[in-house]
Amino acid sequence: MEAMAAKKKGTVESAEKRVAVGIDPSKSALQVSLLTPLTHKPCRQRLSLEPQAVNKLEELLQRHEAVIAIEGSHSVGQLFLLQLQERGHDVREVHPLLSKRFREAISEDHSDQKDADGLALLASWKDDLPMVSFSQEQAIYKRLSRLRTQLVRERSRYLNQLHACLVETYGISYKPLFGDLSAKKALRFFHEYPTINDALADATDIQQRVGPSAWEQLQEAGIWSESIYLRTEVRVLASQILSLKDRVAEVEREMAKLAEAPEVAELLKLPRVGLPTALAIAGNTGDIRRFEGDVNRYVAYAGLAPALYQSGAGGTSGRRRRRYNRYLQHAFMFLAFNMVYAQPLAREYYDRKRLEGKRHWAAIRALARHPCRIVFRALTKLKPPQEVVTSLT
């Protein structure tokens, strides 16, 4: 904590003496722009995103102290950022929306070089940009939770496509065959018998696998007189879903190994917080100390606190934030949504907000601020996690 405070103090005291560095990352390269106190013309360099990138950046700095502003620190270049942290560099996070608006205020032209130049200029005068601070473990939490979300989303998409195909070829008679289409037993069956014609052609095996009642319904539905064009599609979709189920199970096994980590275990004590949500919160929060004990900064970072808005003679009002960590907001919104259906106090709070005139998602967002504050206090040890329920009254 003292090191972080000293780093911030150094930023304020010597902002004019430090080299300002802007980095616009992409999947394979880093566009770097250096702005020194002695020149107004940036030094530009494009570095490959590889282990030697940090060494090459330090060569460009020539031992000068620097403040580094990077756009989208939660997207690419995590290993690069971890190595920068290990070597003691002051790295600041710039939300892509802020970077875009700042660059457009300078020039209407758009390129990676322009983006990096804007980031360097922003770093040279704005000394309150949030610090980038996270551990290798937190990077793992973040990547695994995102990977699981992506795989589950893909699995759901393929399941919907498979359902549509089966409705067309089996009709409604396919539903009584299995209670859960996503079960491996059902997927293997439809991979072997992708159409109702295929199922009716093997009476003995089908009766044993689905039972006499379901078999009778298949017989009543009848067969198609034409060749079934969906046969290949059903088999491919069933195979894809089976593969995705295995990949999700593999990721979840790796996630289970992280449940004993102190910050993850602390989050799992909270009501309605499962392992995927705990890892998403811990990974996207990063080092909780970078919020300097200010819970309001954390709530704003999660996109759950309204931004103040005032124009002309009108009064001050709140509007939704546009610069925030979307993964963190999604985790808290998901948590609040589950709380509405599982906790009476949470439901009462939600209903009260609805009566005040708030729309559904606005009321969910207001509810999500409570677990967000409790998570912050739990991670900073300011309050016990049990207050997630009692604080809603």
DSSP 73-100: TTTS-HHHHHHHHHTT-EEEEE-HHHHH
The pLDDT of residue 129: 86
DSSP 136-148: HHHHHHHHHHHHH
The pLDDT of residue 78: 86
pLDDT at 240 over 70: yes
pLDDT at 267 over 70: yes
The pLDDT of residue 225: 82
pLDDT at 182 over 90: yes
> What confidence tier does 348 reach under pLDDT thresholds 50, 70, 90?
very high
pLDDT at 192 over 60: yes
Measure the CA–CA gap between 386 and 88, rounded to whole angstroms. Answer: 37
The pLDDT of residue 171: 86
Contacts of 333 (CB under 8 A, 6+ apart): 361, 364, 365, 368
Average pLDDT over residues 139-159: 95
Judge contact between 349 and 367, C-beta under 8 A: yes
The pLDDT of residue 248: 97
pLDDT at 350 over 70: yes
The pLDDT of residue 315: 60
Judge contact between 89 and 113, C-beta under 8 A: no
> What confidence tier does 14 reach under pLDDT thresholds 50, 70, 90?
very low
> What confidence tier does 11 reach under pLDDT thresholds 50, 70, 90?
very low
- Between CA 9 and CA 150, with CA 377 as vertex, the angle to 5 degrees is 95
Highest-pLDDT range among 102-116, 203-217, 348-362: 348-362
> What confidence tier does 88 reach under pLDDT thresholds 50, 70, 90?
very high
The pLDDT of residue 313: 62
Average pLDDT over residues 60-64: 89
pLDDT at 85 over 70: yes
